[in-house]
């Protein structure tokens, strides 16, 4: 379970998160929507300890993410993350991209790591690309590679940061299909997304971010189909039209 | 029939020339290896250090890169000699040439480390890699590939620059040839020969570079 309690985060003088509370249960799919600059991506970075926080706390399975005693490298093994940019490792083949971290971080044998990588690559539909260098693949394929690469670490949670925003429109579908598949597998996921239709379809819970706080939160049929707050209505009317 | 002070070039000289060739290879390889290792460290520190440390290191490197090598060689060997620690020409030559190489390699590698964008490293860290693992497995290999052609350029020029070590008395290829010229008075043949030798020493490295670039082109 991920517990986010009264989290404040600033970059210099700019306060980006102004007291965010959010619980994510095992098996839940939570979508975070909101305008750009509302702090939604920053929250993911804080969960993964990529960013510090100034106040409040984030607890992942009883581990306080930002406590001094926490081994953040170890913590990140629980939390798979996929970014807007896929950041494929260009010097490694698809199979090596996926099997590297299990080998050096989880200390799996090469054989085991490759088995694991092959399994995850087949899962995301890249079973025919093992020996290809990622720079030869489309953005959609590289994003699916990034998902497989994160999954090969066998994380308990997956964090998705606008994973379709940098894709050509015709490639968005294949990545969203991969996310749907993960949901059906029972993966716990937090998705920061601009795909409102997708959020409505897959989420157990939707959080609407506005100016550093969660303005409205609840099941998608409330937040997206029948929003109560004016800011939410305004935002949705702009993106849905 | 007059008496000649000069004896023409003969096969007996080949051993002497070979010594020169080997000494050139010896000091060049040494300077490239040491300069590359030190350059990697310097480049990494420059890419990571704060602005103050960086400008401090930068000015030292600027001096090494801007003062002509020939002056550095003479200054260093005379100064060390005057201090009462005369070093043989090979040792002073290796030290100066290695530091000179380091200064250029440092900039090359700094560019390499900086060419790897932050999000790439954040991605590696998000997979649970430690700072050093991300450096070793992601940043270093990607950065080195990016700067390999520049590294090769510096290495090739070091081979040619090693000729300057002759001024402090190291018996490398150029100095052996100068001695042969003064004995034989056949500068044309000898200098052409020396040029060919430098080419023979450098060319395999160029070929290796082409091979590596092809291998890394992905």
* A80 pLDDT higher than 90: yes
The CA distance from A11 to B23, in Å, is 58
CB contact under 8 A, B133 and A149: no
A48 interfacial to chain B (CB closer than 8 Å): yes
Q: Is the backbone of residue A70 left (phi > 0), alpha (psi -120 to 50) or beta?
A: beta
The CA distance from B39 to A112, in Å, is 37
Q: How many angstroms from the chain centroid is the CA of residue B109?
A: 14
* B62 pLDDT higher than 90: yes
**What are the angstrom distances between the C-alpha of B145 and each of B6, B154, B155, B207?**
52, 15, 15, 17
The CA distance from A207 to A211, in Å, is 13
Give me the interface pTM, i.e. the ipTM. 0.91
Strand order from edge to edge, sheet including A79-82: A79-82, A157-161, A188-192, A29-34, A205-210, A213-218
> In the prediction, which pLDDT does B3 show?
63
End-to-end CA distance of chain B: 70
Mapping DSSP to helix (H, G, I), strand (E, B) and coil, where does residue B22 land?
helix
Per residue in A123-178, pLDDT (tens digit) is: 999 999 999 999 999 999 999 999 999 999 999 999 999 999 999 999 999 999 99
**What are the angstrom distances between the C-alpha of B148 and each of A2, A69, A135, A193, B169?**
45, 41, 19, 39, 33
Domains of chain B: total: 1
Pairing assessment for the beta strands A2-11 and A55-60 based on DSSP bridges = antiparallel
The CA distance from B119 to B218, in Å, is 21
Q: Look at residue B191 and tell me if it is in a domain.
A: no
The CA distance from A51 to A49, in Å, is 5
Q: Least CA distance to B215: which residue of chain A?
A: A91
* A21 pLDDT higher than 90: yes
> In the prediction, which pLDDT does A118 show?
97
Which one of B127, B130, B136, B144 makes the best mutation probe of the A interface by having the most chain A beta carbons within 10 Å?
Answer: B127
Q: Look at residue B22 and tell me if it is in a domain.
A: yes
CA torsion angle B5 B9 B13 B19 (round to 10): 100
Out of A77-81, A173-177, B66-70, B86-90, which region has the weakest mean confidence (pLDDT)?
B86-90
A36 interfacial to chain B (CB closer than 8 Å): no
Q: What domain range is B61 assigned to?
A: 12-176
pLDDT band at A32 (very low <50, low <70, confident <90, very high): very high
* B2 pLDDT higher than 60: no
pLDDT band at B172 (very low <50, low <70, confident <90, very high): confident
pLDDT band at B218 (very low <50, low <70, confident <90, very high): low
Q: Look at residue B32 and tell me if it is in a domain.
A: yes
A70 interfacial to chain B (CB closer than 8 Å): no
The CA distance from B204 to B207, in Å, is 5
User: Which residues have C-beta within 8 Å of that of residue B37, sequence separation ≥ 6?
Assistant: none
Per residue in A42-62, pLDDT (tens digit) is: 999 999 999 999 999 999 999
Residue B187 in tokens = 């500068």
Q: Are the CB atoms for B137 and A104 separated by under 8 Å?
A: yes
Nearest 5°: phi and psi at A62? 75, 0
> In the prediction, which pLDDT does B17 show?
85
CB contact under 8 A, B145 and A77: no
Per residue in B63-82, pLDDT (tens digit) is: 999 999 999 999 999 888 88
A105 interfacial to chain B (CB closer than 8 Å): yes
CB contact under 8 A, A150 and B145: no
pTM summary value:
0.86
Contacts of A85 in chain B (CB under 8 A): 119
The CA distance from A67 to A23, in Å, is 19
The CA distance from A68 to A71, in Å, is 8
For chains A and B, count residue pairs whose Cβ atoms are closer than 8 Å.
60
Q: Are the CB atoms for A137 and A145 separated by under 8 Å?
A: yes
Q: Look at residue B205 and tell me if it is in a domain.
A: no
> In the prediction, which pLDDT does B10 show?
79
Q: Look at residue B186 and tell me if it is in a domain.
A: no
Residue B32 in tokens = 């490239």
Pairing assessment for the beta strands A29-34 and A188-192 based on DSSP bridges = parallel
Spell out the SS3 assignment of chain A: CEEEEEEEEEECCEEEEEEEEEEECCCCEEEEEECCCCCHHHHHHHHCCCCCCCEEEEEECCEECCCCCCCHHHHHCCEEEECCCCCCCCCCCHHHHHHHHHHHCCCCCHHHHHHHHHHHHHHCCCCCCCCCCHHHCCHHHHHHHHHHHHHCCCCCEEEEECCCCCCCHHHHHHHHHHHHHHHHHCCEEEEECCCHHHHHHHCCEEEEEECCEEEEEECHHHHCCCCCCHHHHHHHHHHHC
Query: If you write DSSP's letter for every residue of B80-94 in order, what string do you get?
Result: HHHTT----HHHHHH
Q: Look at residue B182 and tell me if it is in a domain.
A: no
* CATH classification at residue B136: 1.10.3720.10
Q: Look at residue B118 and tell me if it is in a domain.
A: yes
> In the prediction, which pLDDT does B4 show?
65
Q: Look at residue B43 and tell me if it is in a domain.
A: yes
The CA distance from A147 to A87, in Å, is 11
């Amino acid at each position: 379970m991920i517990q986010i309690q009264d989290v404040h985060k600033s970059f210099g003088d700019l306060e980006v998160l102004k007291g965010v509370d959010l619980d994510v249960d095992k098996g839940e799919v939570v979508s975070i929507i909101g305008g750009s600059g509302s702090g939604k991506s920053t929250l993911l970075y804080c969960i993964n300890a990529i960013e510090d926080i100034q106040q409040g706390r984030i607890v992942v399975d009883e581990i306080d993410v930002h406590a001094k005693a926490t081994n953040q490298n170890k913590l990140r093994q629980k939390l798979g993350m996929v970014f807007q940019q896929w950041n494929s490792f260009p010097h490694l083949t698809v199979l090596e991209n996926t099997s590297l971290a299990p080998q050096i971080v989880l200390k799996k044998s090469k054989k085991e790591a490759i088995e694991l990588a092959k399994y995850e690559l087949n899962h995301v539909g890249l079973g025919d690309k093992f020996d290809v260098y990622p720079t030869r693949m489309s953005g959609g394929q590289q994003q699916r590679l990034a998902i497989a690469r994160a999954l090969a670490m066998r994380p308990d949670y997956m964090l998705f940061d606008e994973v379709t925003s940098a894709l050509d429109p015709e490639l968005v579908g294949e990545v969203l299909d991969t996310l749907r598949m993960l949901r059906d597998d029972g993966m716990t996921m937090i998705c920061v997304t601009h795909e409102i239709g997708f959020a409505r379809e897959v989420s157990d819970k939707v959080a609407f971010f506005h100016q550093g706080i969660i303005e409205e939160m609840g099941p998608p049929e409330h937040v997206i189909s029948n929003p109560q707050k004016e800011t939410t209505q305004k935002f949705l009317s702009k993106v849905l039209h | 029939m007059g008496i000649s002070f000069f004896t023409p070039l003969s096969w007996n000289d080949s051993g002497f020339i070979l010594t020169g060739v080997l000494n050139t290879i010896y000091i060049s390889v040494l300077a490239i290896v040491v300069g590359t290792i030190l350059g990697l460290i310097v480049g990494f520190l420059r890419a990571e250090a704060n602005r103050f440390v960086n400008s401090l290191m930068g000015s030292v490197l600027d001096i090494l890169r801007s003062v002509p090598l020939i002056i550095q060689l003479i200054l260093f060997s005379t100064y060390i000699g005057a201090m009462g620690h005369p070093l043989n020409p090979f040792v002073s030559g290796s030290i100066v040439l290695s530091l000179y190489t380091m200064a250029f390699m440092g900039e090359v590698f700094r560019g390499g480390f900086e060419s790897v964008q932050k999000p790439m490293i954040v991605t590696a860290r998000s997979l649970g890699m430690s700072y050093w693992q991300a450096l070793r497995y992601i940043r270093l290999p990607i950065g080195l590939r990016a700067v390999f052609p520049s590294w090769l350029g510096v290495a090739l020029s070091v081979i040619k620059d090693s000729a300057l070590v002759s001024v402090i008395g190291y018996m490398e290829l150029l100095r052996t040839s100068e001695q042969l010229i003064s004995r034989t008075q056949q500068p044309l043949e000898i200098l052409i020969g020396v040029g060919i030798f430098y080419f023979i020493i450098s060319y395999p490295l160029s070929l290796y570079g082409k091979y590596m670039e092809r291998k890394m082109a992905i």
